[in-house]
């Protein structure tokens, strides 16, 4: 999706003009995928923009860095504050934020130990990731021929830049075959997640979602959805999901910061009832929660400076 430029990007502690936020072609992260990142949304609320679960996203970025053995040169509080400043300085009512930490310029080769770590945070307006009618009409999913990486290959729990080569292979394969998005299976054949979302599959009235151990990212939207589902009286279970669960599901939805809650209308051309009643209720409540309209969720709506 095309990027709409904004004014400023935070780079290593400074606000830099959008066009000047550049890196050298010999930046380590560009060559070896040695970076960790986050995707966060700020939503318009009655009191101005609120960054949804900002602290949790930054905490996960630190976890990703720990898995890689990368030391971030800023504290959690500093990066939370920097994200807030980026939203404030660009003056957007709502936007998508992309914090990224990557190994910088100065060292080449696979020994990452001497490398410097650079951090940048950009934001821009980003619309519906899977299309404007992804909730009502649903998306067409394909089980990918590409396997999600194993825990001992590229840890799927770390949101590393390099991991996304695997996601892009799956996404482009699905698009070229006429589908909207790919479902990825783990090496053991169980459902892991989608190229850029977690998945919920309704079976016998309960919503199943695969665990981290099945190769899924510990999705922040996934955990938001579980709390919303609980509030609405739906049962969610973190458990293994088999490929055949997909084909006989009562409803399926995918969720992520970018995709929000999007319903699925078919998997491998087998129709799935869409939009399902649980999906519709959860997707509506999700929009109310992120825009600060539901009591009890205020702590998740973090205000910029
Ligand atoms: N799995 C994957 C592989 C993933 O990339 C995401 C986010 C999720 C699950 C959901 O995580 P969370 O956002 O915490 O609920 N994908 C990001 C989009 C990737 C892209 O750059 O494109 C996102 O939603 O921001």
The answer to whether residue 132 is domain-embedded is no
Q: Name the residue of 83, 196, 198, 289 to mutate for ligand 1: max ligand atoms within 8 A of Cβ.
A: 196
Please tell me whether residues 175 and 90 are part of one structural domain. no
pLDDT score at 132: 86
| Segments forming the whole domain that contains residue 24 | 8-124
Per residue in 189-211, pLDDT (tens digit) is 999 999 999 999 999 999 999 99
Tokens 């009512």 sit on residue: 93
Q: Which residues of the chain have pLDDT under 70?
A: none
List, chain by chain if needed, residues with CB within 6 Å of any ligand 1 atom.
Answer: 39, 167, 193, 196-198, 217, 219-222, 256-259
Predicted TM-score (pTM) of this structure: 0.98
The answer to whether residue 23 is domain-embedded is yes
The answer to whether residue 299 is domain-embedded is no
pLDDT score at 281: 98
Which stretches of the chain are assigned E, i.e. beta strand? 8-11, 14-17, 35-37, 40-45, 48-52, 95-103, 117-124, 139-147, 181-185, 191-194, 198-203, 206-209, 235-238, 251-256, 260-267, 270-271, 301-302
Please tell me whether residues 155 and 93 are part of one structural domain. no
How close is the Cα of 231 to the center of ligand 1, in Å?
Answer: 24
Q: Is 137 a catalytic residue?
A: no
Domain at 112, CATH number? 3.30.470.10
pLDDT score at 305: 78
Per residue in 95-145, pLDDT (tens digit) is 999 999 999 999 999 999 999 999 999 999 998 899 888 888 999 999 999
């Amino acid at each position: 999706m095309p990027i709409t430029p904004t004014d400023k990007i935070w780079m290593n502690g400074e606000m830099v003009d959008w066009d000047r936020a550049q890196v050298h072609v010999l930046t380590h992260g560009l060559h070896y995928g040695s970076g960790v990142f986050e995707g966060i949304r700020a939503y318009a609320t009655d009191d101005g923009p609120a960054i949804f679960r900002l602290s949790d996203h930054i905490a996960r970025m630190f976890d990703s860095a720990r898995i890689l053995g990368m030391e971030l040169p800023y504290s959690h509080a500093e990066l939370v504050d920097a994200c807030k400043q980026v939203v404030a300085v660009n003056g957007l009512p709502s936007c998508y934020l992309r914090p990224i930490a990557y190994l910088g310029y100065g060292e080449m080769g696979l020994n990452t130990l001497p490398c410097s770590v650079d951090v940048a945070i950009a934001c821009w307006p980003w619309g519906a990731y899977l299309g404007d009618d992804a909730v009502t009409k649903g998306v067409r999913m394909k089980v990918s021929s590409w396997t999600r990486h194993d825990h001992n290959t590229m840890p799927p729990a770390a949101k590393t830049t390099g991991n996304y080569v695997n996601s892009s292979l799956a996404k482009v394969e699905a698009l070229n075959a006429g589908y909207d998005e790919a479902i990825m299976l783990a090496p053991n054949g169980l459902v892991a997640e989608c190229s850029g979302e977690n998945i919920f599959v309704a079976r016998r009235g309960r919503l199943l979602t695969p665990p981290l151990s099945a190769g899924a990212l510990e999705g922040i939207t996934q955990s938001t959805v579980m709390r919303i589902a609980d509030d609405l009286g739906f049962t969610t279970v973190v458990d293994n999901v088999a490929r055949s669960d997909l084909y006989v599901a009562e409803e399926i939805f995918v969720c992520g910061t970018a995709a929000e809650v999007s319903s699925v209308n078919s998997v491998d051309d087998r129709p799935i009832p869409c939009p399902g009643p649980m999906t519709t209720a959860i997707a509506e409540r999700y929009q109310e929660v992120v825009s600060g309209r539901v009591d009890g969720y205020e702590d998740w709506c973090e205000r910029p400076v």
